[in-house]
Amino acid sequence: MSTSDFIFNGRAARVVFGAGSRVHIERELLALRAQKALILFGQEQLALGTAVADQLGSHAAGVFDRATMHVPAELVTEARAVATSLGADCLIAVGGGSAVGLAKAIALESGLPIIALPTTYAGSEMTPIFGVTEAGLKRTGTDLRVLPKTVIYDPELTVTLPVALSVTSGINAIAHAAEGLYSRDANPLTSLMAEEGISALSRSLPRIVSRPDDLSARSDALYGAWLCGAVLGSVGMALHHKLCHTLGGSFNLPHAPTHTIVLPHALAYNAEAAPDAMKRIARAVGHDNAAQGLYELSRANGAPIALKEIGMLESQLDRAADIACNNAYWNPRPLEREAIRTLLQRAFEGSAPQT
């Protein structure tokens, strides 16, 4: 292997990993020199969020229990006002990308430190990327103030994640690492993390499908999600993420299933332009072809494989191809509108990727 010049953006989060590690929340709060946390979560995580508040006792300033998808701007304004009125000096996000996203949006202006307790494999807790939706448009950006200071990865919190969501959330994480391997900012460290992350997830997801309460499989998956999220936080993403942002943002398709369906096709599109990345992805999924390997991983574990299964209409494919080709992200293979349209057709129908 030859090592050429690179820049590695190490992100500074402290990670506390392990089954039951949520018992350390108070210790971690105090380590940040904080005293009163506002605990943020969505309605579906009510029991867990309340338990965290109870556990913190007088270190809990209060709870905000309405975190929701897409981080609406009105909700951010409301939650920020709650944090101020309660005198919170720290935010604790309990949940998936939606709870972490709300904490990030509050931190963006308030500068409050975030402790994250992730309950999905989305990986937002490892990135300085934020997004807020206003008047139907999602504004995204990158700011180090929103990067959580501490992440407590407790696999016990993921045991309740339904199997279907575990699979698509896990493949959503794999997508970060796969694109990280051919990112123009890829470097030896992020590539190590990416390959290890893909490998941990592709081995653990089938185990979770056969036994959702297998804590060892849940630990491996969360470890993989951490690594994949760290890759997302360090290097730029390409065609696959652009396609998923287009499909989610303009056609309201669900986040993780969309990533799951599109990934094999985006990899097939880039295969010839990024042969080394493909080799590493293939090795990590234990197949001789990266795109086909991921397609089979999805199918074998009951994930959706066709955009038509998750609400896309065939009449929307032309517009999706146009949007995806506008303001395109950097990609190893130039974007060719007709080839992207063909890719979307195959993803729509659930055909195997064109390898």
- For residue 160, the minimal CB distance to ligand NAD (Å) is 4
Q: Cβ closer to ligand NAD: 245 or 265?
A: 245
Residue of this chain nearest to ligand NAD (CB atom): 97
Q: How far is the CB of 242 from ligand NAD (least distance, A)?
A: 13
Are 194 and 230 in contact by the 8 Å Cβ rule? The answer is no
Distance CA 51, CA 211 (A): 26
Nearer to ligand NAD, 52 or 278 (CB): 52
122 or 277, CB closer to ligand NAD?
122
Please state the closest distance from residue 144 (CB atom) to ligand NAD, in A.
13
Q: Which is nearer to ligand NAD, 117 or 344 (CB)?
A: 117
Distance CA 123, CA 260 (A): 15
Tokens of 313: 């209409």
In the bound state with ligand NAD, the residue whose beta carbon lies nearer, of 227 and 256, is: 256
- Taking the least distance from each CB to ligand NAD, the nearer of 215 and 339 is 215
Residue 20 exposed, middle or buried by CB count within 10 Å (0-12, 13-18, 19+): exposed
Provide the edge-to-edge strand list for the sheet that holds 37-40: 14-17, 150-153, 114-118, 90-95, 37-40, 60-64
In angstroms, give the least distance from the CB of 17 to ligand NAD: 16
94-111 as b/e: b if 16+ CB within 10 A: bbbbbbbbbbbbbbbeee
Do residues 94 and 115 touch, judged by C-beta distance below 8 A? no
Neighbouring residues of 224: CB distance < 8 A, sequence distance ≥ 6: 121, 170, 173, 174, 196, 197, 198, 199, 200, 201, 204
| Dihedral sign from CA coordinates of 229, 233, 239, 241 | positive
Q: Name residues whose C-beta falls within 8 Å of residue 190's C-beta, 6 or more positions apart in sequence.
A: 8, 180, 183, 230, 231, 234, 235
Instruction: Provide the minimum distance between the beta carbon of 108 and ligand NAD in the complex, in angstroms, as a whole number.
Output: 12
Least Å from the CB of residue 315 to ligand NAD = 25
- The residue assigned the tokens 């699979």 is 167
When the beta carbons of 97 and 353 are compared against ligand NAD, the nearer one is: 97
The residues of the shown chain that bind ligand NAD, judged by CB under 6 A, are 42, 44-45, 69-70, 95-99, 101, 119-120, 122-124, 127, 129, 131, 157-158, 160-161, 165, 169, 232, 255-256
Give least dist CB 172 to ligand NAD, A: 6
